Amino acid sequence: MKCLFLVSFFMLSIASLQAQLLNLNSADGRPIILEKNNIYDGSPYLNEDFKDVILTLDPSKEYKTLGRINFLSKVYEYKFNGELYEIDFSDLKSILFVEEKMLFRILMIDGKKSKDLYQILFENEVLSLIKKVDFGLIDQNTDSYSNTNNKRRIVKNESFYIYRDESLFSFKKNKRSFISILPEELKERAENFFKENKVSFNKEEDLVMSLKSFYGLN
């Protein structure tokens, strides 16, 4: 009887410990189930390495984690006790890669939470320059009756926006497109600024520095 009690107590202790560990896995993460029926050409990550991250959930709860963003599955992946877990974008508020100083955020657009993460390139109290990264899939199997695993290529697309007053204003990486989204009173000033400073939109870092200067943030 005593032996049975000890065994029961031990099993309850193990169950309690497991429950505690589940509660410690950085808030409602779930184990990652890897797909076995698809072969992917390419990567759904900007960086496949797990990096130091400050993760803010909605409501605002901050965690220090080792993680990365899977843009294809729209989840944040992180390590906990040697296992991989994931959290949907819908449960996130922001992700800050500490060393790289890269900030990604869920935005409020027309009063609703965005379904995507946006990278904040710079911001002030009025507006933000942001980038959206999309990863899509293209099927590469030519034989639709083939029983082999499906081969799919991952493709990456980037789009740029000015974000203000809970609205997104899309522009292509050229001066004419950017000027077209500006209020009328700023268009002439922008044309003169870009001409005088020989602004290039070809490189992202040049674009960010130029627009910071234009908005007086340098």
pLDDT tens-digit readout, 55-87: 998 777 888 899 999 998 999 999 888 888 899
- pLDDT at position 143 is 58
pLDDT class for 206, splitting at 50, 70, 90?
confident
- pLDDT at position 199 is 84
pLDDT class for 188, splitting at 50, 70, 90?
very high
Which is more confident, 92 or 35?
Answer: 92
The domain ranges of the chain are 20-142+151-171
pLDDT class for 207, splitting at 50, 70, 90?
confident
- pLDDT at position 96 is 95
For residue 181, pLDDT over 70 is answered with yes
pLDDT class for 16, splitting at 50, 70, 90?
very low
pLDDT class for 24, splitting at 50, 70, 90?
very low
pLDDT tens-digit readout, 115-169: 999 999 999 888 899 999 998 888 776 555 555 567 778 889 999 999 999 999 9
Q: How far, CA to CA in Å, does 24 sit from each of 19, 28, 101?
A: 9, 9, 26
DSSP string, 1-52: -HHHHHHHHHHHHHHHHHHHHHHTSTTT-EE----SSEEEES-S-S--S-EE
- pLDDT at position 147 is 56
Q: Looking at the chain, which runs of residues are DSSP E strands?
A: 30-31, 38-41, 51-57, 61-70, 75-80, 83-88, 92-97, 102-109, 112-123, 128-139, 150-164, 167-171
For residue 111, pLDDT over 80 is answered with yes
For residue 30, pLDDT over 70 is answered with no
Residue 7 — φ and ψ, nearest 5°? -65, -45
